[in-house]
Structure 1
């Protein structure tokens, strides 16, 4: 009798859980469906607005009869601009392309990819480890911020001749880039120049024709696994730093060509080991908690860099950044249960 009662109780509990799951699904599915429909509808609306700007606004505002439909005086964009805009919005509807650390990514981009993108002001290209060259930036005439990060095979940057409004240029962990383009076109607008990580151009003779392969910036890259740098020929007639480029490098010397204080050890590239199962399990999905790297017992901090899973990161810089955020009251609010080791006060 007891056995029957126990089994009956388990059956009732299981049935209750199933009913709860069904009720949850009945609530969540319509909500998710509504969100998807709203997102799709908004994207379709933007496409219509791009193709037929005057007609769309006239329809919404009921102004078709005013000034023969030209009441709003909207200038119809060229067909090339419309095509680029619609293509971009269509891509948003389909999905997006993003590099993933440790996995093969894009190996080439069309040379005319940025042609006609006059309105683009911010560009961030990252985690494309097999990409050797970038398309021309000629069409990016309103670009204000350019970030190139974790491009392990890139060897040079496009000319910046048409970037008259560029304010920020960041080159992060692009160890094979040997030269910089002439920075004269952006010398009056550039407010921030950052070159971090293994920097071949800093020690291969590009800037001063004095190659120093013993410099830490020219050693084997422990992050992406790039080989040691090589010297540029002393008697070369090309790949020379212009006076403007040298001047800008001196102006921003505090944020460029900084040798790593604690260079990562060579061997398996860090980017391939960052999201190992052991590193992820060490954090149990909790941001900023203290952790130990499973293979080295090195102290680390749990975080999710580059949209990757939350994993144990042994970089002391990230620990210091989070500690300063807590001290200055910026960033995400700290949790004393997990961040007391960083100075998070009890509430």
Structure 2
């Protein structure tokens, strides 16, 4: 038996203040952890009791500076870190011999503070952000990757998904508005229109609530599923615009 932990806050709310230190002390069945939009949480509890963990996602957690050691999660396959602007360093990744994907999406201090090599405090993601209360980064005095060869090798293996810049538009678009949610109430894959007039599709992304998403990629994906007869059966009324029933 496996279980998943998905805890996502609400944008603009206070949400959780902290997590119990022993939260992951006895969860041998847990295979996935997803924490997101928890701006006040600064410490991720030790991963001491989740030996079967396969995926760890942390997103929109601006107070997190470091992560707990990975010594006790040898089966971890996917590590996804999105918008952790104050993340300074990572523990040794050498214990993670089953990794198939590592994503670190900027902004994140780890991308420019010297953890990966040279320190570049002129990088946009190392500058102070007073609107979000994010201080400027400082250069680490440690050697690159904290001297951990396994970490360096992981960064080299997944270089295409580590510290690649995102436009401000793409970051903002990942958080649905109340209007985008309400127009898609109980209308999965329905057609919708966002405030700028763009046509979108009612879709769930990153385990978020159903909301209007102006994305040609997701629209074409659903059309392809309907054409090939794969995935969720289409609704001939709601999804006529996507070719259902033709």
Tell me the TM-score normalised to structure 1 length. Answer: 0.57
1:172 paired residue number: 82
- 1:168 is displaced (CA, Å) by 2.1
- 1:182 is displaced (CA, Å) by 1.1
Q: Find the aligned partners of 2:76 and 2:159 in 1 and give their Cα distance.
A: 18
Q: Given the alignment of the two structures, is residue 158 of structure 1 paired with residue 58 of structure 2, yes or no?
A: no
Task: Note closer, same or farther for the CA distance 1:176–1:325 as it changes in structure 2 (3 Å cut).
Answer: farther
The one of 245, 250, 263 equivalent to 2:151 is: 245
> Match of 2:163, SS?
coil
- 1:183 is displaced (CA, Å) by 0.5
Q: Find the aligned partners of 1:202 and 1:328 in 2 and give their Cα distance.
A: 41
- CA deviations on 1:131-150 (whole Å, 9 max, x unpaired) are 11111112333322222233
> Match of 1:121, SS?
strand
Q: Find the aligned partners of 1:134 and 1:206 in 2 and give their Cα distance.
A: 20
1:230 paired residue number: 136
2:3 paired residue number: none
- CA deviations on 1:249-279 (whole Å, 9 max, x unpaired) are 110123332222x43189xx6577x232x33
Asked if the contact 2:128–2:137 (Cα under 8 Å) also holds between the matched residues in 1, the reply is no
Q: Find the aligned partners of 2:164 and 2:79 in 1 and give their Cα distance.
A: 16
What is the number of residues matched between the two proteins? 240
Task: Note closer, same or farther for the CA distance 1:285–1:162 as it changes in structure 2 (3 Å cut).
Answer: closer
Q: Given the alignment of the two structures, is residue 334 of structure 1 paired with residue 243 of structure 2, yes or no?
A: no
- 1:338 is displaced (CA, Å) by 4.2
1:63 paired residue number: none
- TM alignment of 1:1-347, pairs within 5 A: 99-186=9-96, 188-196=97-105, 198-211=107-120, 213-214=122-123, 226=132, 230-233=136-139, 236-237=141-142, 240-241=145-146, 242-260=148-166, 262-264=167-169, 274-276=176-178, 278-283=179-184, 285-294=186-195, 296-305=196-205, 309-315=209-215, 317-319=217-219, 321-326=221-226, 329-335=229-235, 337-339=237-239, 341-342=241-242, 344-347=243-246
The two structures, once aligned, show a CA RMSD in angstroms of 3.6
User: Bigger radius of gyration, 1 or 2?
Assistant: 1
Q: Find the aligned partners of 1:326 and 1:197 in 2 and give their Cα distance.
A: 34
Q: Find the aligned partners of 1:322 and 1:213 in 2 and give their Cα distance.
A: 42
Unaligned runs of 5+ in 1: 1-95
Higher helix share: 1
- 1:193 is displaced (CA, Å) by 1.8
Higher strand share: 2
Q: Find the aligned partners of 1:99 and 1:286 in 2 and give their Cα distance.
A: 23
- 1:285 is displaced (CA, Å) by 3.6
Q: Find the aligned partners of 1:185 and 1:171 in 2 and give their Cα distance.
A: 18
- 1:185 is displaced (CA, Å) by 1.3
Task: Note closer, same or farther for the CA distance 1:102–1:270 as it changes in structure 2 (3 Å cut).
Answer: farther
